[in-house]
Structure 1
Amino acid sequence: MPAYVVVDVGVVEEEAGWAYAPVAQRSILDHGGRYLVAGPTPEPVEGTWDSQRLVVIEFPDMDRVRQWYDSPEYRRARRIREGKAQLRMLFVEGAPPEGFAPPAG
C-alpha cells in the first residue's frame, strides 16, 4: 500500500534551501519516491496555516519511506538543512484501494 511523506516547510535560509533541494530530491527518486505536491504558498480555505511550502511525496510502501529517511543520502540532506529550516514531517499510510472507511464503534 502506498505511503506518503507530508512536509510543512516554514522558514528556510535561502542558501541552505538551494543546497538541500537537489540532494533531497535525488535521495527521494533513488528510493522510489515521487513528488505529488511541491507548491509554494498553500492556499488555506479553513483553519490557520502558517506554512511557506507544502510537500507531499508518495513511496511504494512505509518500509520504503523509512529506508529513504534513514539512508546515507537523506542523512546528508538533513545535515545540509540542520538549523537552517523549520519543518514538520509526517509519515502516513495510504488508504486501501476500496477507500476510507470510518472506524467501527
Structure 2
Amino acid sequence: MTAYVVFTRDRTRDAAEMAAYSPGAKASFAGREMGRLAAYGECETLEGPPIEGAVILSFPTMEAARDWYNSPEYTEARKHRHLGADYRAFITEGV
C-alpha cells in the first residue's frame, strides 16, 4: 500500500544549512521508486500554527519510505535540515 512522507517546515533558522541540505536530499532519491506530490508550493494553514512550507513524497510501501528515510544518503543530508530549520515529519499509509 502506498505510503506518504510528509514534512512541514515550521521555521528556518539557518538558510546556509538548508542550501546544503537540498542537493543531498535530492541525491538520496536515486534508484528509489518515489514521487514528489508537493514541494513548497503555496500553502494555507487551516488549523494549528502556521507553517513555512510542506513537502509530500510517495513511496510504494511503508517499508520503502522508512528505508529511504533511514538510508545512509538521507541520514547524512538530514543533518543539515536539522541544523537549518524546525520541521515535523511523519509517514502515513494511504488508503
Quick check: TM above 0.5?
A: yes
1:31-58 C-alpha deviation (Å, 9 max, x unpaired): 22221001245123x3234210111000
**Larger Rg over CA atoms:** 1
Measure, in 2, the Cα distance between the counterparts of 1:23 and 1:57. Answer: 16
Aligned alpha-carbon RMSD (Å):
1.6
Query: TM-score scaled to structure 1, two decimals?
Result: 0.79
Q: Structure 2: any 5+ residue segments left out of the alignment?
A: none
Q: Which residue of 1 aligns with 2:77?
A: 77
Letter in 2 for 1:75: T
TM superposition shift of 1:25: 1.7
1:26-82 C-alpha deviation (Å, 9 max, x unpaired): 2134322221001245123x3234210111000111110111011000011112223
How many residues align? The count is 94
Letter in 1 for 2:77: A
Q: Which residue of 2 aligns with 1:15?
A: 16
Q: Which residue of 1 aligns with 2:38?
A: 37
Measure, in 2, the Cα distance between the counterparts of 1:30 and 1:9. Answer: 26
Residues 1:50 and 2:50 are matched in the alignment:
yes
* Structure 1 segments of 4+ aligned residues over 3 angstroms from their partners: none
Letter in 2 for 1:60: P
Q: Which residue of 1 aligns with 2:66?
A: 66
Query: TM-score scaled to structure 2, two decimals?
Result: 0.87
Measure, in 1, the Cα distance between the counterparts of 2:34 and 2:60. Answer: 7
Q: Structure 1: any 5+ residue segments left out of the alignment?
A: 96-105
Q: Relative CO higher for 1 or 2, CA cutoff 8 Å, sep ≥ 6? A: 2
